[in-house]
Amino acid sequence: MKFLLKIFLLIVALINVLVAAPISTSAKYAIIMDFDTENILLDKSAKSRIYPASMSKLMTLYILFEQISEGAISFDSEFLVSKKAWKKGGSKMFVEVGSYVKVIDLLKGIIIQSGNDACIVVAEGISGNEQAFADLMNVKAKELGLLNSNFKNSTGWPDKDHYMTPYDLALLSKKIIDTFPSFLNMFKEKEFTFNNIKQGNRNPLLYSYKYSDGLKTGYTDESGFSLAATALKSGRRLITVLSGMDSVKERRDETIKLLEWGFREYVNVNLFEKNEAIIEVDVWLGNKAIIELITKEDINFTLRKKNINNYSASVVYNNPIAAPIKTNIQYGKLVIKNTFKGTLTYPLYAKQNINKAGIFKKISSAFSYFIFGGYAE
């Protein structure tokens, strides 16, 4: 009854939602990923290799975040600035050769100022040289499931063998937010002053879209204007990656347009929480007559709003379940149809262990079941 009521209330609450409309973008490559479900709401050549430019720095940051979180280095650790780092062109935080720079400043120099020099300082500080750090980036990419990325440097400096895909960039962005949430606020800082030089954050959404809170821009002649962005609106987070645009304005406007479309045209349904009871089931010859089946994960899925009246949920199980019952064994499944990804299936487990009944309990339970069609406690 509880299960059916919950389904009914969800349908009633969302019954008047509008039908989803298609969207186009002038970006050559684009993806919109729902953060919670990882559903891809828009895919425009999202698994094609692109030159990621400074969006590559997200991997440099991931490794640095990981080193800090594991205690290998701290915000106050200092890295030496080499001549190579000092001389590097492109965007800079303007470190001085031979000086030592704190990790906290290097983080801001990469996130806010997109400093190529800061990336090389980090790469050399962690791995000894930039090539060894690039090798580490490739190892980490495989660990994270970025299956179509290859790094040749820490900065995104143009190289024909340095590439990612919009999908890999979206997945990496999700990994950063999931794994290192305490660092996310740094992406919202709008300016940073180092060596008496103040620079603004290059992410245009921070100044024009109130829901934006990161991540990283990119630009080279080869890649055009690019952006890996995330936004949080009404408790729902989206990630989008766009590449191959012709101007800063186009990059900003297209990103906002796609994010707003994703928020407007799709909805997530949070049907059950982890460990929440889904249904009560009879127990055959156990020391308890009833067992609750639970989910061991959040039941959270994406719907096109036009399909809000079409999805269905049902529980499949054998009744009764014979004792002994163990919490680590699957006894049923929750089947949800007509979601964004089609039919979803979630395993259901017993909420608690139940032992076999004693001989007198077995006799009374069997009698109750065969005469009355159920059990009495």
Could you read off the pLDDT of 233-272 as tens digits, one per residue?
Answer: 999 999 999 999 999 999 999 999 999 999 999 999 889 9
Q: Which of 135, 137, 118, 128 is nearest to 63 (CA)?
A: 137
**Quick check: is 81 in a domain?**
yes
- The answer to whether 241 touches 228, Cβ cutoff 8 Å, is yes
Q: Are residues 123 and 30 in the same domain?
A: yes
**CATH number (domain holding residue 362):** 2.60.410.10
**Quick check: is 44 in a domain?**
yes
**Quick check: is 207 in a domain?**
yes
Could you tell me the residue range of the domain that residue 213 belongs to?
A: 23-267
Q: Are residues 134 and 184 in the same domain?
A: yes
Task: Write out pLDDT tens, residues 287-305.
Answer: 888 999 999 999 998 988 8
CA-derived radius of gyration, the chain: 26
Task: Write out pLDDT tens, residues 313-359.
Answer: 999 998 898 999 899 999 999 999 988 888 999 999 999 999 987 66
Residue finishing a domain among 239, 267, 295 = 267
Residue finishing a domain among 251, 267, 283 = 267
**CATH number (domain holding residue 240):** 3.40.710.10
Q: Which of 114, 173, 212, 226 is catalytic?
A: 114
Distance CA 193, CA 363 (A): 80
99 included as an active-site residue: no
Q: Are residues 309 and 177 in the same domain?
A: no
**Quick check: is 18 in a domain?**
no
Per-residue pLDDT of the chain (377 residues; tens, 9 = 90+): 455 445 444 443 343 333 345 799 999 999 999 999 999 999 999 999 999 999 999 999 999 999 999 999 999 999 999 999 999 999 999 999 999 999 999 999 999 999 999 999 999 999 999 999 999 999 999 999 999 999 999 999 999 999 999 999 999 999 999 999 999 999 999 999 999 999 999 999 999 999 999 999 999 999 999 999 999 999 999 999 999 999 999 999 999 999 999 999 999 988 999 999 999 999 988 888 899 999 999 999 898 887 777 888 999 998 898 999 899 999 999 999 988 888 999 999 999 999 987 665 555 555 555 555 554 44
24 included as an active-site residue: no
**Quick check: is 377 in a domain?**
no
**Greatest Cα pair distance in the chain:** 89
Q: Which of 28, 44, 54, 223 is catalytic?
A: 54
As for how many domains the chain has, the answer is 2
77 included as an active-site residue: no
Q: Which of 136, 102, 140 is nearest to 121 (CA)?
A: 102
Angle at 180 (CA atoms; ends 254, 217), nearest 5 degrees = 25
What does 205-216 look like in DSSP terms, one character per residue?
Answer: HHHH-TTEEEEE
Q: Are residues 183 and 255 in the same domain?
A: yes
Q: Which of 28, 44, 56, 57 is catalytic?
A: 57
Distance CA 184, CA 232 (A): 12
Q: Are residues 262 and 278 in the same domain?
A: no
Residue 4: partners with Cβ closer than 8 Å, 6 or more residues away: none
Q: Are residues 290 and 170 in the same domain?
A: no
Residue finishing a domain among 267, 292, 325 = 267
Predicted TM-score (pTM) of the model is: 0.84
Q: Are residues 208 and 340 in the same domain?
A: no
